[in-house]
Amino acid sequence: MLLAVEGLAAAYGRIRALEEVSLHVAEGELVAIVGANGAGKTTLLRVISGVHPAAAGTVRLDGRDITRTPGHRRAALGIAQVPEGRQVWAPMLVEDNLLLGGWTRPAAERKERLAEIWAMFPRLRERRDQPAGTLSGGEQQMLAIGRALMARPRLLLMDEPSMGLAPRIVEQIFDTVERLARAGTTILLVEQNAHAALSIADRGYVLESGRIVLSGTGRELLADPRVQEAYLGI
Ligand code: ATP
């Protein structure tokens, strides 16, 4: 199993954000975690990437316990995150954002990878010499994804890539995520947009108040009346 999370808990002081969370992601899978605002989705990704400590439980990458491994080491082991709200380095050029994203890799490989990102996102290539802050929201999301891919991650964590974008752009972003998954990238995606996320996911989990309450294939969850009522407005 590429990623295996067991009995995970996390807190902010006395606020418990995650409780007894167990989930797994196999190599090549696209797994979605859906849940409402404040359910704990961002916290879960932060604990997996090592930005926030686990209060209990374990995180394993390829069988190796990384629960106490610092974030920068996890990045070197192949975990990359596309953060909520994109967080591109606004004053820096598009190209430099990407090159910095590949900091864990040797220079020659970074160049090679950059060429692949340009091929994947021609819009970014056109704008390579612009400060990232001048891009549209959708382009910044593409840049945040490209930046994470520069590290050739074994596991790509994506935090609400559709947030704050117009519906047409959201569609493009989900197309991109699906394309990446088809090309073999292993993805753990957290999303409030349950319909879009479950439609492209192999499997999914529903997170409520810090706990996993349902899991299944994307199709099973889309057809589940509890999901339909709570997240799909059906
Ligand atoms: P969102 O969609 O808003 O990002 P989320 O599902 O990602 O929501 P989290 O951001 O992980 O949820 O938050 C989970 C819980 O932890 C919430 O109750 C939230 O208020 C709380 N929380 C998150 N960050 C902090 C923080 N820095 N300090 C205190 N409490 C926090």
Query: Using CA atoms, how far apart are residues 23 and 31, in angstroms rounded to an integer?
Result: 10
**What is the distance between the alpha carbons of residues 234 and 228, in angstroms, rounded to a whole number?**
5
Q: What is the pLDDT along the chain (234 residues), one digit of tens a residue?
A: 999 999 999 999 999 999 999 999 999 999 999 999 999 999 999 999 999 999 999 999 999 999 999 999 999 999 999 999 889 999 999 999 999 998 888 889 999 999 999 999 999 999 999 999 999 999 999 999 999 999 999 999 999 999 989 999 999 999 999 999 999 999 999 999 999 999 999 999 999 999 999 999 999 999 999 999 999 987
> Could you tell me if the CB of 140 is within 6 A of ligand 1?
no
- 13 lies in the same domain as 37: yes
Return the closest-CA partner of residue 94 out of 65, 63, 117. Answer: 117
Residues 169 and 206 in one domain: yes
Which of 42, 163, 189 most suits a substitution to test ligand 1, by most atoms within 8 Å of the C-beta? 42
Domain match, 111 and 223 both? no
Residues 162 and 74 placed together within one structural domain of the fold: yes
Do 24 and 125 fall within a single domain? no
Looking at the structure, do residues 196 and 147 belong to the same domain, yes or no?
Answer: no
What CATH number does residue 5 fall under? 3.40.50.300
The CB of 12 under 6 Å from ligand 1? The reply is yes
Question: Can you tell me which atom of ligand 1 is nearest the CA of 13?
Answer: 29
Selection from 184, 161, 180, 158 nearest residue 27 by Cα:
184
| Co-location of 170 and 215 in the same domain | yes
DSSP secondary structure code for residue 83 in this structure: -
Domain boundary among 109, 135, 152: 152
Q: Say if strands 203-208 and 56-61 run parallel, antiparallel, or are unpaired.
A: unpaired
Residue nearest to atom 26 of ligand 1 (CA): 12
Total structural domains within the chain: 2
CB 199 within 8 A of CB 177: no
The answer to whether the CB of 17 is under 6 A from ligand 1 is: yes
Both 189 and 162 in one domain: the answer is: yes
B/e letters for 128-161, b = 16+ CB within 10 Å, e = fewer, are: eeebbeebeebbbbbbbbbbbbbbbbbbbbbbbb
Give me ligand 1 centre to Cα 194, in Å: 18
**Does one domain contain both 67 and 33?**
yes
Same domain, 23 and 139: no
Q: Which domain holds residue 215?
A: 1-78+157-234
**Of 152, 177, 194, which closes a domain?**
152
Q: 206 CB less than 6 Å from ligand 1?
A: no
Residue from 175, 202, 172, 169 nearest 186 by CA: 202
Query: Do 132 and 68 belong to one domain?
Result: no
Domain match, 166 and 144 both: no
Is ligand 1 within 6 A of the CB of residue 38? Answer: yes
Q: How far apart are CA 164 and CA 167, in angstroms?
A: 9
8 A C-beta contact, residue 194 and residue 232: yes
- Angle, vertex CA 222, rays to CA 219 and CA 223, nearest 5: 90
Other CB atoms within a 10 A radius of the CB of residue 126 amount to 12
Kindly report the pTM of this predicted structure. Answer: 0.94
